């Protein structure tokens, strides 16, 4: 790393780690994941997927979208769904693929979870609709996950004005983000079924299905800090200065 004129990375925690490795910070650039805020917007029609998957518009949708690998510990979503099985208007939707998908489907079938559905990856042009389809987005991680990571899916969730429930430890990049910007997401400790259930239940109870609204805090954050054009301009300006 010391051989290069410039080193960039996607999170502040990674910058701190780079400083420790390099012994200096004057050639480090914060270069985060970005989003097209004009493409992913809160105004996208959420009913597209209600119609496509024949889901009542009055349903409360808890969405996990993305890679279904083993490192995330996605089995916990099934455990939480089991606790919601008596609430007929709550539906857990898992969209994507990965090495853990078949196992998750098998577990859901064995547990007879009628409140969870699995759907394939969707085309990019429908991403805005998928983001607004969710009443609550789930971002699930195991304990001791690399605390420097800032998942790229957050950018699309925030740009759509989505409400997110994040499992992250307090001293991680995600944990610090939630503390620094109140209202940006609900954070609970990882691998705690009861904590996830309690937080999610409270979040869902606060939703009026007849007049859904988006999260202004996260949309504003996306416009200021995740705007593709602004991030690329800052990056180029930083390169010119160095």
Contact of 37 with 214, CB cutoff 8 Å: no
Residue 146 has pLDDT above 70, yes or no: no
**211-220: average pLDDT:** 94
Q: What is the pLDDT of residues 167-180, one digit of tens each?
A: 999 988 899 999 99
Q: Supply the pLDDT for residue 147.
A: 67
- What is the number of alpha carbons within 13 Å of residue 214 lying toward its C-beta? 23
Helix (H) or strand (E) holding 219: helix 216-225
Backbone angles phi, psi at 136, to 5 degrees: -140, 130
Global pTM reads: 0.93
Decide if 74 contacts 101 (C-beta within 8 A). no
Distance (Å, rounded) from C-alpha 49 to C-alpha 56?
Answer: 10
Q: What is the pLDDT of residues 127-144, one digit of tens each?
A: 999 999 999 999 998 887
Positive or negative torsion for Cα 143, 146, 149, 153 = negative
Is residue 230 helix, strand or coil?
helix
Please name the residues in contact with 180: beta carbons below 8 A apart, sequence gap of 6 or more.
none
CATH topology of domain 47-222: Rossmann fold (3.40.50)
Q: Where are the alpha helices (DSSP H) in 23-94?
A: 47-52, 75-83
Judged against a pLDDT cut of 80, whether residue 188 lies above it is answered with yes
Domain locations in the chain? 7-34+228-241, 47-222
Nearest one of 9, 37, 5, 34 to 159, comparing CA atoms: 37
Tokens 């089995």, located at residue? 75
The three-state secondary structure class of 160 is coil
Check if the beta carbon of residue 59 is closer than 8 Å to that of residue 89: yes
Judged against a pLDDT cut of 90, whether residue 148 lies above it is answered with: no
Q: How many residues does the chain have?
A: 242
């Amino acid at each position: 790393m010391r051989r290069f004129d410039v080193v960039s990375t996607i999170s502040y925690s990674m910058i701190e780690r780079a400083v420790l490795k390099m012994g200096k910070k004057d050639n480090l650039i914060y270069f985060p994941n970005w989003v097209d805020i004009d493409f992913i917007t809160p105004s996208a029609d959420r009913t597209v997927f209600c119609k496509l998957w024949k889901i009542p518009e009055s349903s409360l949708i808890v969405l996990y979208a993305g890679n279904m690998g083993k490192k995330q510990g996605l089995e916990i979503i099934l455990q939480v769904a089991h606790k919601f099985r008596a609430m007929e208007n709550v539906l857990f939707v898992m969209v994507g693929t990965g090495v853990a998908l078949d196992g998750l489907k098998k577990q859901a079938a064995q547990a007879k979870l009628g409140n969870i559905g699995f759907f394939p990856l969707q085309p990019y042009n429908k991403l805005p609709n998928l983001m607004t389809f969710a009443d609550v987005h789930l971002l699930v991680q195991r304990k001791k996950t690399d605390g420097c990571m800032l998942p790229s899916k957050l950018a699309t969730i925030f740009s759509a004005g989505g409400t997110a429930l994040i499992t992250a430890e307090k001293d991680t990049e995600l944990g610090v983000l939630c503390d620094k910007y109140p209202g940006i997401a609900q954070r609970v400790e990882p691998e705690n079924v009861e904590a996830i259930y309690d937080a999610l239940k409270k979040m869902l109870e606060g939703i009026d299905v007849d007049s859904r609204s988006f999260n202004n805090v996260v949309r504003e954050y996306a416009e200021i800090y995740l705007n593709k054009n602004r991030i690329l301009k800052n990056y180029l300006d930083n390169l010119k200065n160095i």
